[in-house]
Structure formats: structure tokens, C-alpha cells
Structure 1
Amino acid sequence: MRLYVDPVCPFAYLALRWLDEVAALRGFEVDVRIMSLAVLGEADPDREPESARGTESAWRPVRVGVAVGERLPEFMSRFGGLYHRDGVRGRDEVLRQVLAAMDLSSSLGAADDASFDDEVRRSHGEGMEPVGLDVGTPVIHVDDVAFFGPVLGAVPRGQDALDVFDGAVALAGAPGFCELKRTRSGGLSFK
């Protein structure tokens, strides 16, 4: 099972935590890969280019995600914990703290290194190809089924986590299925 996520998306962080729960209960690993809100935003002519956002650019965390390689799941979990759960602001500050905790401070330079962009785009394209370009993050691939979401406001635990997983995979695998949605209510819970 593969999970395509952007570190700056709170729903991606919640999906990672949910799938970690499912993986622990089912005895498999989550293959975490990069997708990019910056790449998605390029299709919107009314959106300010990410490059204009300086140290808050969504490009910076995904470049670092590529640079940390096999430690991407740990990077995503630590980044999400600080940025989303703990509310630490300043993406540069979060990157510094996360990389220091991982003993990878030398990887901070990747944030400004556009040579990582081809790999970001490759991974992003791989994740999006089976689901289309009009969705966001998270994107999940399970065997021959791929889908956007689910967009969760909290992490289901135990049997609830398994039920949501099994239901999402079954629904996404149904012939002709394309979307299920309802309006979000209430805040997000990162507990």
C-alpha cells in the first residue's frame, strides 16, 4: 500500500496516522511517497506562484522529503506532529527542528535546491495518474485500487480504523465509482 502526501497538508498527516494504525493492526507497512500541493497549484492561474512565498513555499518541505529518502515516513510524522498537531509555525523552523531531531540537519539545504523538483514531479505524477488531476492529498494506492482521501478530521482507532480502510478500498474499487463527499464540520483533532 502506498500513501502519497504533502507534508503541509493536515489531512495528509491524519491519513498517515490512520494508515499507521491500520498497518499495525494488519501487519503491513505504509510506503509513504511525496505528492505536491505546489505542483497541484500550478494549474490554477489565479493562485500566487509558490516561489513567491519564500520560506513558506510548499516546495521546500517536499524537496526535503525527497532528500531524506528512506526516512520519509519518519520525516512526515515528525513534520506533521510539529506543524499540525503542535501548531509550530514557520515552515523553515519546523524543517530545522525535524531535521535536527533526525540528525539530518545537513538536508536543510535541499529546501532551496530545485534539482529535487524532477523527483517531486515524478512521484507526484505516479500518485496522481490513476486518480486524475482534480484531487488533492492524500492519495492512496492499494493493489490495483487508487483513490483520493479519505479526508479525515480525526484519526480512527482500532476496529474503526480497519472499517474505514476496508470501506474506502471496497468503495474505490467498485466499477464506476468516482466520488463521495460531505461538508466538513467542526475542527480537526490531531490527538
Structure 2
Amino acid sequence: MPYHVDSHLEIEVKTTVPDDAHKFRMELKNALPMMGVRQDKADMDARYAALEGLVEKLKDPQERRWRAEVLDVRAHVTITCTNKLANGQSFTNLQASLMSGGEGQRFTAFILASALAYQLGIVSQGFSTYGTVMMDEAFVKSSLSFAEASINALHEFGFQLLLAAPEDKVDLSRFLGSVTEILRDDAANRSGTLERVPVGSSGGSRAVDILLR
């Protein structure tokens, strides 16, 4: 999927799990019971003691540095992003924080969409694959420009979007193909699709039951 008209992004991921983190994972795995294996009391007691020891170490204020090393997975992986142009030039170590506002938002949204497409297998199955992304409170804390960049990037990767958001927080209607308004009727204590009342009638609009067809 082109990042710009004449370029694409190449993402390289390297796992760099520290020795302490690897040891912690093995101890945790060994302490957890194996599925489908019958255990006697001695085995369960041993596993419980091992788990208790790990929990106590995680709670120990003196082990704060060790806890951060084994739990902070951001330090366990190195991700390098390169923008490769059609003319052979490339720009490595791209970071959204070093870009302009709009470019950084486009970059972040594009990475999000590409990661989702990769994890769901859309890249291997083809971009015609049915893939619906449903988001509640969608982009309510984002700027409109970031919301637009994210929606456009998800569309580019072939996702169909079903977004729900309060209109007084963010207006996404300009970026979507269709919009259904939901209104809460406090008097009837129910919510439903918005029904416009004809001009001249009392009241402006009210909620009606949602009918699934």
C-alpha cells in the first residue's frame, strides 16, 4: 500500500528481550498449570509457591528497576520504519514526534491501519477481504485532522468502519459515507434512531425504536 504517491513504508521489527525478562517469562510459564494435565496437591502447592514468589518480587519497592525491565514490553522490541521513495532514496528512523502536525497524524494512522491489516491477515488474503472495524467513542479525544487521517488510512487498507461518537464531542459525518443519528428520549427513558417531526408539529425531534431489517 503506497504511503504517498511515490513511496512506501518498510517496517523492521527486532526482538530484544533482556535476559531478566526472558527468565521471568520462563519462571511464570513454569509456575502456571499445564492445560489438560492432572495435578496432585504437591504439584499445585509448588506452583502456588512459585507464583507467590514472583508476585512478592513484583511488589517489592527495591525491585522497581527489575520490574520495569521485565514488564515494559516497549523495551523488548526495536521497530525501525523506513520511507522508501521510487527514485531509490530512503529515509530511516521516522518518528511522528519529528514531523509536522498533519504528516505526523497521517504517519501514526497509516501505521495503525497497516498493523491491523497485517494481524488480521488482510495483506495475505487480499484487500477485498471483509473487515469491519467498530469503534465506540471514536476519536472523541482526537483532533478532527487526526480523525480524518485515521479514517482515510483505514479506508485505504480496505476496512469498513462502524463508528459511534457523541456529536457534541466530535463531528465525524464529513468523513463517512452515511450517518445515523441516535437520540435519547428522557421522557420515555429510551433511545432510538432520530425521527424528525414535521414542521408545524409540537417538538423538534424524538427517539423511535430501532428496527433491524
- Return the TM-score normalized by structure 2: 0.20
- Higher relative contact order (Cα pairs below 8 Å, separated by 6+ residues): 1
- Return the TM-score normalized by structure 1: 0.21
Larger-Rg structure? 2
Higher helix residue share: 1
